Structure 1
Amino acid sequence: MNIHYGGALTFLDGLNLEETLGSRYGVAVSAENDAKAATLCEQWRGELKGVDTRAVMTLGTGVGGGIVVGSKLMHGSSFQAGELRWMITNQEAWLKEMADYTGARCSAVRMVERVKPGAGQ
């Protein structure tokens, strides 16, 4: 199992978890995106326990999310279902500037940078 996209942790791009962890320690290995894992946790023990259809948004180094339909987590054909980071916030820029995607513009990291004392001076 290879990590297709490490997100903010680019050193994980292409890492084969079965080789690096599974074989080394003799255990079964699987991985899940952090936002989708948060969605599963809310379904299992949190506010969304017993809710059949839901959407979760997470704010961190980017903007992520998870969508559950019929109590099943959606991954999509490219494992990006629910990932809000790729929404464009500036239609004029279209696909040219990463800063115009939700993941860069609306992350918790960006919020802290904007509200900290002395920001923007």
Structure 2
Amino acid sequence: MDDGVDASVYVGNAGKDAALDRGWLLGHFKDPGDPRHCADVEIKWGLHPQGEARSRWVRGEERTALLLLVSGRFRVELPGRSVLLEEQGDYVVWGRGVDHSWIAEETSVVLTVRWPSVPGY
């Protein structure tokens, strides 16, 4: 699609684009010429059916993360704490070194922002 906008602009749909890269919309893993390439931050549009759970805990996290509930009911497990996101806009932030896991208690859409964007994950 040529809309007359230069290559430094990308227009898309999070739901459609998420299906192309495991939900990730922006980060170091996008091609360097793509405006969505970024070493500073990663953004994910997560679509999770009811009952979907992370297969194992993330250990030794090197990034800070924000997870925001768009719709559904989503539980984030942290060491010694379980956080339930149940109202649109509920969010949780955790820092580097915080292990975590999650489960979608209902079909959910969540927006995740992580920084920095670290290769190797």
TM-score by length of 1: 0.24
Structure scoring higher RCO (CA < 8 A, sep ≥ 6) equals: 2
TM-score by length of 2: 0.24
Q: Which has the higher helix share?
A: 1
The structure having more radius of gyration, on CA atoms, is: 1
